[in-house]
Amino acid sequence: MAFYYEEPSRTFSEYLLIPGYSSVECVPAKVSLETPLVKFEKGKEPELSMNIPMVSAIMQSVSDDRLAIALAQEGGLSFIYGSQPIESQAEMIEKVKRYRAGFVVSDSNVSAEMTLQDVLRLTEQTGHSTIAVTEDGSPNGKLLGIVTNKDYRVSRMTPDTRVKDFMTKLDDLVYAQEETTLKEANDIIWDHKINCLPLVNKNQELVYLVFRKDYDTHKKNEYELIDSSKRYMVGAGINTRDYEERVPALLKAGADILCIDSSEGFSEWQKLTIDYIRRNYGDRVKVGAGNVVDAEGFRFLAEAGADFVKVGGGGAICITREQKGIGRGQATALIEVAKARDAYYEETGIYVPICSDGGIVHDYHITLALAMGADFIMLGRYFARFDESPTKRVNINGSYMKEYWGEGSARARNWQRYDMGGDKKLSFEEGVDSFVPYAGSLKDNVNLTLSKVRSTMCNCGAINIPELQQKAKITLVSSTSIVEGGAHDVMLRDKR
């Protein structure tokens, strides 16, 4: 006979934190969000940690090299998506590892023969007002000039006007050689009162752009996540099919940690993948596994040798529950797995971090997930909204949106993630193709979100994550209580 759970499966929105005693020392500025990324023995420090408890989802529409750099600058980690050729995934890893802070590879480029209409389309798509003009229209082509919004007036020019007729030509530009240091580049920018400094190589090919507006962000960020060689850290997603070819290539490219990307982690396929890594690389290569939703699944992956375990019952674009009738409420899954993790630690002396993947709708859900036992949170929809995500920004009915699609959608066709050992194809969709509201830069949004997390932790009397998990008091809320928690019985003023 089937086993029946007595308690319903619950989400984060059904819980609230109860305020605790806060001392005068418990202020947001003193809160540490440092958290372990990989397992460690009692009394020892983990080999890898993060400075903030946020990682980006292993998705085409979320985690590429650009977002990985931006998140590492804030102290978190991206897992570059694996549903792409091995060579292109490895190339993204290499871009993160060789990135020079403050030096931007131009992602807005045109050729001199293109038109004003092309410039306007590119500006609309990327949100960037500075566009490099290269001989072949590529990011590293021979530099011919620059186009900014000061070079054209739409009302006085026709859309078919050639770029070469209104661009600022190279002879009129201030530029420098690629060996220029960041300090030297900033001095040139300030001395010549310019907004952008192109750096070229000896063949006059564009290498980087340095922007005046980025001056403050070029300063060292105390939370940035770097390796022993002062390079940004980055993870990579792998699957349970081509790992014998993919893993060596990703490690050669410089990946700091791997994560098996699957909707079902409680399977022999995951154990075989971990076995391959341990057999060939021992414990020096770190790999996370998942997703699981109960204690039994956690125990299986912990004993298989996973460095962290991902807990996931469904995200914003996931329709597995609708399609297959299988899954679990994220809060319920996390609570059970956290108890299993603590029991495993008491039994073995090995602490295996858990990552809560999915179910985050509001910022306070992050704090709840941490209080319930998560060591860090994996976010997809959250990061998809930002400038740095790899998707297009589009205007829909007067509002800017970003494209966002699931790995189980027809668009991604990531059959490896849902593979059960059958034909190498996606038999049916387990994700959707959608849009999310555009929210601006990653830095601004992450800082705002974490300011809320730190503030709530202080309300609970905690100045670090382990203390939050020890001191937190959590209550279920009724539907009426949820209504009471927001603005009600008033007429709100329009935001201006």
Dist CA 303 CA 12 (whole Å):
28
C-alpha to C-alpha distances, 294 to 171, 264, 349, nearest whole angstrom: 65, 12, 21
Residue 417 is among the residues annotated as catalytic for this protein: yes
Dist CA 297 CA 338 (whole Å):
12
Residue 64 CB coordination number (10 Å): 24
Which of 66, 246, 341, 417 does the annotation list as catalytic?
Answer: 417
Tokens describing residue 251: 């490690």
Dist CA 159 CA 155 (whole Å):
10
Count CA atoms within 13 Å of residue 420 on its CB side. Answer: 5
Which of 26, 259, 318, 458 does the annotation list as catalytic?
Answer: 318
Neighbour-count burial of 128, counting CB atoms closer than 10 A to its CB (0-12 exposed, 13-18 middle, 19+ buried)? middle
**Region class of 421: left (phi > 0), else alpha (psi between -120 and 50), else beta:** left
| Helices 86-97, 65-74: crossing angle, 10 deg rounding | 40
C-alpha to C-alpha distances, 32 to 58, 181, 465, nearest whole angstrom: 26, 33, 7
The answer to whether 34 touches 50, Cβ cutoff 8 Å, is yes
Residue 247 CB coordination number (10 Å): 22
Residue 196 is among the residues annotated as catalytic for this protein: no
**Residues 6 or more apart from 277 whose CB is under 8 A from it?**
243, 247, 258, 285, 287
The answer to whether 23 touches 342, Cβ cutoff 8 Å, is no
Q: What angle do CA 340, 57, 228 make, to 5 degrees?
A: 85
Peptide bond into 291 cis (omega under 30): yes
| Helices 442-459, 65-74: crossing angle, 10 deg rounding | 40
Tokens describing residue 176: 């420098």
Give the active site residues.
318, 417
